[in-house]
């Protein structure tokens, strides 16, 4: 954290997840070890190699979104806007003509409106170009969760979208943090949103051998750091934060959930999907976040791991954590909430940042469920199967994406 920059705090949280459609329900899911993985219901997956996912259940935006407008939105945008509205309400913030220009939005997405793209491709093939919806492009482009959230909230400040695959949500939060540090806005609404549980999305990841194929036992499929892990479980949803400069939050008497103090972002420049052996790029992102926040290893009390449940990610992330934190690494609880929520791709950084802040607020460490078989190359404290009460001061959140994108965010209790 460079001297002279604004301090930045978290004042609002919003979440739509496979284990809860509000922050309150998500917290209950995290503390109880709720499992969000089940047989796919969003489409007929009977012919697919992977027939399960971590879906958002019973999602009904009635009363939150305008029905006529939301029919013209892809599912990922609906998730993002609903989470953004919850976060703004939690922050107790009203946007009007007096402050709109100082409030911005950044919501990342790895894929954007994949369902719209698939659906309209079928329309084109079956019925011809004249039948393709005029809303096709606005529905599918990945910046539209940001655009629609800005419209819905009335936010006219800095606005952008990040598409760094599975690091997108965390990059969005980190970029918003930088904007506020520099005084280019007073408030930023930021996070990630994704809805890629579609025939093409599942088939593509399955063909790449990235998914688990435990069709006989979907509930145990997402098992980060376990020796028998065989791939990730695709999930969907959105996590959104309201960040403010400390001065702005204090001036309006806002409730402050936590402070964001560090942001590291790097690229492996190695491979389109595989991390650098030894997790070198991820390690550098962690190192940068610690340096940015003026932290030493002894300050870190919990790490929310990227923890995808793939063989390569989990072993390399373990190596990255150990290389940066040294002997302290074995004393820090490290858990993967993807064991419960599945992998939300570009939305994962958003809901995992929310999980970190809830952990700070309530002094607990979420578990890594489905952990039963230790792996010699994954030898840290992964908080197996049951949440743990723990006094927390500083937490880190890791996100690593296809293309070699690495992000680490650092949050702490407000001091």
Q: Tens of pLDDT along 155-193?
A: 999 999 999 999 999 999 999 999 999 999 999 999 999
Mean pLDDT, range 60-74, rounded to an integer: 91
Closest CA to 245 of 172, 187, 175: 187
Residues 195 and 287 in one domain: no
Say if 260 falls within a structural domain.
no
Per-residue model confidence as pLDDT tens digits over 220-239: 999 999 999 999 999 999 99
Say if 3 falls within a structural domain.
no
Per-residue model confidence as pLDDT tens digits over 236-284: 999 999 999 999 999 999 999 999 999 999 999 999 988 889 999 999 9
Q: Which domain holds residue 145?
A: 8-251
Do the Cβ atoms of 281 and 408 come closer than 8 Å? no
How close are the terminal C-alpha atoms of the chain, in Å?
15
Say if 370 falls within a structural domain.
yes
* Percent of the chain residues topping a pLDDT of 70: 99
How many angstroms separate the CA atoms of 40 and 54, rounded? 8
Residues 92 and 187 in one domain: yes
Does 408 participate in catalysis according to the annotation? no
User: Residue 103 is encoded by which pair of tokens?
Assistant: 């409030």
The active-site residue, picked from 6, 50, 166, 378, is: 166
Say if 258 falls within a structural domain.
no
Locate tokens 């019925």: which residue? Answer: 127
Does 6 participate in catalysis according to the annotation? no
How many angstroms separate the CA atoms of 73 and 135, rounded? 8
Say if 79 falls within a structural domain.
yes
Q: Residue 36: which CATH number?
A: 3.40.47.10
The active-site residue, picked from 248, 343, 356, 378, is: 343
The active-site residue, picked from 6, 248, 306, 405, is: 306
DSSP type of residue 368: B
Residues 41 and 65 in one domain: yes
The mean of the pLDDT values for the chain is: 97
How many separate domains does the chain show? 2
Residues 233 and 375 in one domain: no
Is the pLDDT confidence value at 2 over 90?
Answer: no
Half-sphere exposure for 169 (CA within 13 Å, toward CB): 33
Residues 235 and 296 in one domain: no
Do the Cβ atoms of 304 and 335 come closer than 8 Å? yes
Say if 214 falls within a structural domain.
yes
Residues 157 and 200 in one domain: yes
Per-residue model confidence as pLDDT tens digits over 6-32: 999 999 999 999 999 999 999 999 999
Helices (H), 135-167: 136-140, 144-153
Is the pLDDT confidence value at 1 over 70?
Answer: no
Does 378 participate in catalysis according to the annotation? no
């Amino acid at each position: 954290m460079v001297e002279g920059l604004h301090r930045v705090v978290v004042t609002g949280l919003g979440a739509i997840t496979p284990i809860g459609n509000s922050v309150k329900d998500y917290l209950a899911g995290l503390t109880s070890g709720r499992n969000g993985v089940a047989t796919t219901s969003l489409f007929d997956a009977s012919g697919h190699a992977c027939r399960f996912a971590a879906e958002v259940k019973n999602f009904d935006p009635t009363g939150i979104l305008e029905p006529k407008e939301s029919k013209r939105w892809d599912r990922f945008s609906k998730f993002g806007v609903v989470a953004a509205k919850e976060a703004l309400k939690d922050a107790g913030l009203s946007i009007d003509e007096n402050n709109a220009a100082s409030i911005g939005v950044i919501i990342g997405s790895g894929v954007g409106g994949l369902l719209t793209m698939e659906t309209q491709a079928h329309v084109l093939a079956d019925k011809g170009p004249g039948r393709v919806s005029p809303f096709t492009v606005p529905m599918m482009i990945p910046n539209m969760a940001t655009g629609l959230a800005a419209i819905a909230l009335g936010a006219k400040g800095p606005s952008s979208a990040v598409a760094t695959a599975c690091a997108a949500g965390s990059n969005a939060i980190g970029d918003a943090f930088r904007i506020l540090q520099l005084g280019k806005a007073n408030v930023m609404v930021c996070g990630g949103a994704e809805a890629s549980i579609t025939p093409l999305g599942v088939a593509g990841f399955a063909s790449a051998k990235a998914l688990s194929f435990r069709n006989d036992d979907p509930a145990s499929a997402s098992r980060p750091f376990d020796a028998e892990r065989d791939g990730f479980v695709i999930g969907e949803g959105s996590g959104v934060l309201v960040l403010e400069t400390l001065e702005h939050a204090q001036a309006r008497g806002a409730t402050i959930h936590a402070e964001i103090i560090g942001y590291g972002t790097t690229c492996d420049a190695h491979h389109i999907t595989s991390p650098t052996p030894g997790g070198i790029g991820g390690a550098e992102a962690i190192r940068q976040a610690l340096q940015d926040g003026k932290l030493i290893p002894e300050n870190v009390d919990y790490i929310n791991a990227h923890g995808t449940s793939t063989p390569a990610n989990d072993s390399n992330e373990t190596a990255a954590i150990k290389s940066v934190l040294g002997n302290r690494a074995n004393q820090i609880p490290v858990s993967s909430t993807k064991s419960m929520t599945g992998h939300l791709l570009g939305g994962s950084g958003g809901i995992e940042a929310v999980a970190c802040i809830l952990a700070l607020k309530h002094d607990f460490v979420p578990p890594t469920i489905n952990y039963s078989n230790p792996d010699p190359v994954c030898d840290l404290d992964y908080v197996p199967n049951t949440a743990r009460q723990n006094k927390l001061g500083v937490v880190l959140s890791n996100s690593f994406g296809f293309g070699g994108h690495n992000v680490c965010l650092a949050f702490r209790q407000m001091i």
